[in-house]
Structure formats: C-alpha cells, structure tokens
Amino acid sequence: MQSIVHLSQFKLMRIVGRGAFGKVRIVEHREMRKLYALKYINKEECIQMDAVLNIVRERTILEQLDHPFLCRLRFAFQDDDFMYMVTDLMLGGDLHYHISRQTFTEDVLRLWFAELASAIKYLHFNRVVHRDVKPQNILMDDKGHVHLADFNIATHMHVHKQLTSNSGTAYYMAPEIYKGNGYNEAVDWWSLGVTLYECVYGRRPFEYETSDELRAAIRRGYIHYPTNDRRVSGECLAAIQGFLEIDPLKRLGQGDTGWAALVRHPFFRSVDWRRLESKTIIPSYQPASDQNNFDITYDLEELLLEPNTISVQNRRQNRVKPQKSPTQTGDLTKRERDLIFIEENFKGFDFT
C-alpha cells in the first residue's frame, strides 16, 4: 500500500507524553502551519509486545469518531519502522498534571465531567468502549476544555455479547472486570467515577500495596468517603457514589435511562448541554499559557536513553511488502506475518 502522508510533511518538536505503545510529540504541519500531536509506535516493539491488533484497532476507531470532547484523528501513515497517528494538539496538558498540583472547585469539576460524560455517551452510542478512562488520558486544550484520548485498548461492543478481556489500568477498572463474568460499556462510567473521586479527594478510592489486595478490594466495591470534608457538597458526593455503584445496571449514566438520570442529577442539573457541546461555555479554569503544562522529563529520556528515535532523514514511506501466496504465508514467522498485517491494515488517512 502507499501512504498518503509522510513524516517529512511535519516539523518535529518536543515530546509531551508517553503511552503503553508509543510516545507523543508536538509537530507542525509544514504546509498548513498548524500544530498537532504525533503519536509514533515502533513496529518491532509493537510486535514484541503483541500489541499489533490494539494499534490497528485504535487507528480504525479514531477515524470513525467525531466529537468536540474527543481527540480527533487528522492523519495516519507508516514507514519502514514506525506507525504514526496525528491528532488534535491539546496544549493544556493532561488532567493528572493539573490535579497533582492543585485542587479545583466543584464548578470547575462539573464542567470537566459534563464534557467527559458527553464524550462517553457518544462513544457508547457508537458501540465503542474506551476501557481506560483516567486522568492521564484526559487532555486539556488551551481554553480549559477537556478531551478523552488514548484509545489503544478501546474496542467495539457487540449486541448480546459481553467483553471478557482483563483490559484497563488496575486502579480504575470496574469490579465486574475483576469478577471475570463479562462486562459491557458500564465500565467507563465506573472509571469516570474513580477519576472524579481522585479530583475531589486528591487520591484514588483504592490504594493497596499488592495487586491481589487491589483486585479484592475493587471486587468488594466498598469505598471510604471522608465524612469530615466540608469542601464536598452532597450533590458532588452523590455523583461520585452514582458512578461508583457496584451494580453496573444501576450505575449513573448506564442503560437506556442512564443519560436522562445523569442530566437530571443534582450535580449536573445546572449544565446547559446544548451550549456545552457547542463549546460556548467559557471554562472558569484555563491552563497557564506562559508555562509548560507537560512533564519535561520526556524529552530528556529520548535524548539520553532511547535508541529508537524518529527522524525525517532517509526514511522510506513503506517497506516493500513480500508477495506471498496463501500457501506460502504459512511458512512465514510471526514477525513477518505481523509486519504484513500492519502494512495491509494500518491504512493511511488524511482529513483534509
């Protein structure tokens, strides 16, 4: 296949993030003079981690999505060594960066979590489950709006068929995932509740030294809510408890009547959802424009420690795909089969 975009069309700038399967760098499209976020994944490392299907699925899902509070895919391409996805750039950094440095009022949190709830509702309407909602995957733009990002373990839901894989970040995973009897999109509302709890109380509801203790505690679903914290209103506490309902069918936001219940909930009742989704509500918190909102260690790590860095010099657009008949492909190694799968399924994309 031939990509329709190439790395040489972008000016490479600083690194601003790291995910399980790749890094994120600010880039400038040379012709459009516009900044984007470039996620790049080394093919060999992806194959070694058995993550090829995840990356191809992430790229496919992102192309299908278009919502004001999701990081949208703008370009996708590959070359000999890397797969690339170019998305909207969020200069405000991730939510973890901000909540680890200060606490926020309920008015600020209300807007953030209404925006995230709107994004999750859209995903579920389109039969997509994110499965990794957490502060590190929530990105803020320069005006203070939040966006759900990082779809590398997202998947499609099928009617009357539950998911079974143990996917997610341990602290944010719902009880039904750990119970092992199958789960559905309700896990995203639980993760949103864990994130809201963390924003309010400055820590996660489940903190244990061993993974076995953590899993057992989440399966039980018992959550301690500090009763002497007068900063937390009854409405906010009720929203957290609604999202962290152990029964997925009763969880705030879930099911046929879940969205109506969320909109009517006292914590969200004052939200003008039409204005919210048109981004005409001005956030009361805006990230500082005169300072970095990212961890500066990412650049140093790549400079000092990383052997597999990217450069536009001498980079071929695609390797030549081996021509194999169906009978011959059985003789290929797993690595060769994975490389061919990437060539054929990680398709080029250009939104322009």
pLDDT digits (tens, 9 = 90+) for 236-267: 999 999 999 999 999 999 998 999 999 999 99
Q: Are 20 and 37 in contact (CB under 8 A)?
A: no
Concatenate the DSSP letters of all residues of 50-65 into one string.
T-HHHHHHHHHHHHH-
- pLDDT at 2 (0 to 100): 46
**Residue among 182, 155, 177 at smallest CA distance from 57:** 155
Element (H, E) at 106: helix 106-125
> Looking at this protein, which amino acid is placed at residue 90?
M
- pLDDT at 292 (0 to 100): 64
The token pair that represents 181 in the structure block: 């009897």
Q: What domains can you pick out in the chain, each with its CATH number?
A: 7-90+294-346 (3.30.200.20), 95-277 (1.10.510.10)
The token pair that represents 12 in the structure block: 């490479």
Contacts of 254 (CB under 8 A, 6+ apart): 185, 186, 189, 248
- pLDDT at 305 (0 to 100): 43
Q: Using the 8-state DSSP alphabet, how is residue 252 labeled? A: T
How far is Cα 22 from Cα 56, in angstroms, rounded to an integer? 13
- pLDDT at 168 (0 to 100): 95
How far is Cα 37 from Cα 18, in angstroms, rounded to an integer? 12
11 labelled binding-site residue:
no
DSSP-derived 3-state class of residue 163 = strand
CA end-to-end distance (rounded Å), the chain: 20
List the catalytic residues: 132
Question: Which class for 68: exposed (0-12), middle (13-18), buried (19 or more C-beta within 10 A)?
Answer: middle
Element (H, E) at 41: strand 34-42
How much of the chain exceeds pLDDT 90, in percent?
Answer: 79
- pLDDT at 244 (0 to 100): 98
- pLDDT at 4 (0 to 100): 79
How far is Cα 44 from Cα 334, in angstroms, rounded to an integer? 12
How much of the chain exceeds pLDDT 70, in percent?
Answer: 86
Which segments of the chain have a pLDDT < 50?
1-3, 297-305, 307, 320, 327
- pLDDT at 228 (0 to 100): 72
